[in-house]
């Protein structure tokens, strides 16, 4: 059974998280105070777990640090581990010839990372729409030969080849060899770099 956090535990978690987030933002105590409208003395008290901030104070600090209040209060900042078993990976695209795109696993926003497992039969193709600017894809061929068109540029990859491209233009994957091509695809779509989930908060070190 989980232990109920005492008020001192909560104050310590809030102080640790506020301090770590402030440092990730490269903000001084004075800068956080100015951005939040919370006095410098109150910020110091909160970071050193010497006070129990009001809801209003937490809201102002969260807004200034560009996180939700939960990110300040959450006492469990251990890295999250997600296991997605083979039987949970369901094709999200397929056609009648046996070509498939299987979504393996991905992260939550703001920063999105997705892992896909593709199989394209000989002569089959998939037209990919343009993604948001800043999105990249990494393709690595496990077997067969893969054709890739990005905009007007054509590329061909063989077994063991890996390619990274900026995916804000229309693109097309195709099986260009006599055998099916199987490849993995990693999609990286950065979100708002100012948003940090609780699991990403590193412990604060000594100093301002």
Q: Which 3 state secondary structure label does DSSP give 7?
A: helix
In this structure, the answer to whether residues 103 and 185 fall within a common structural domain is yes
Write out the chain's pLDDT in tens, 208 residues: 444 456 787 788 889 999 998 998 899 999 999 999 999 999 999 999 987 788 778 888 988 988 777 778 764 545 678 888 888 877 888 899 999 998 898 876 567 789 999 999 999 999 998 888 888 999 999 999 999 999 999 999 999 999 999 999 999 999 999 999 999 999 998 865 555 554 444 454 545 5
207 assigned to some structural domain: no
Domains: count for the chain: 2
**How crowded is residue 181: how many other Cβ atoms within 10 Å of its Cβ?**
26
Q: Is residue 161 part of a domain?
A: yes
On whether both 113 and 183 belong to a single domain, the answer is yes
- Cα separation, 15 vs 195, in Å, equals 18
CATH of the domain at 45: 1.10.260.40
Same domain, 183 and 92: yes
115 with 105: CB under 8 angstroms? yes
User: Does a structural domain hold residue 195?
Assistant: no
Q: Is the pTM of this model over 0.75?
A: no
- Are 170 and 155 contacting, i.e. CB atoms less than 8 angstroms apart? no
Owning domain of residue 34: 7-78
Evaluate whether residue 120 is within a structural domain: yes
């Amino acid at each position: 059974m989980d232990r109920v956090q005492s008020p001192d535990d909560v104050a310590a978690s809030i102080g640790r998280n506020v301090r770590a987030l402030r440092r990730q933002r490269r903000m001084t105590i004075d800068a956080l105070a100015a951005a939040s409208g919370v006095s410098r003395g109150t910020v110091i008290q909160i970071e050193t777990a010497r006070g129990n901030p009001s809801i209003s104070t937490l809201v102002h600090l969260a807004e200034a640090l560009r996180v939700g209040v939960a990110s300040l209060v959450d006492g469990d900042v251990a890295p999250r581990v997600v296991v997605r078993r083979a039987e949970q990976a369901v094709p999200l695209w397929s056609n009648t010839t046996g070509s498939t795109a299987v979504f393996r696993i991905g992260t939550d926003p703001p920063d999105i990372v997705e892992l896909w497992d593709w199989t394209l039969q000989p002569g089959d193709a998939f037209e990919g729409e343009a993604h948001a600017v800043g999105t990249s894809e990494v393709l690595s061929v496990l077997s067969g030969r893969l054709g890739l068109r990005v905009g007007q540029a054509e590329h061909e990859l063989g077994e063991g080849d890996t390619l990274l491209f900026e995916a804000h233009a229309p693109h097309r994957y195709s099986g260009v060899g006599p055998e099916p091509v199987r490849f993995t695809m990693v999609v990286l779509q950065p979100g708002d770099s100012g948003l940090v989930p609780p699991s990403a908060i590193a412990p604060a070190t000594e100093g301002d």
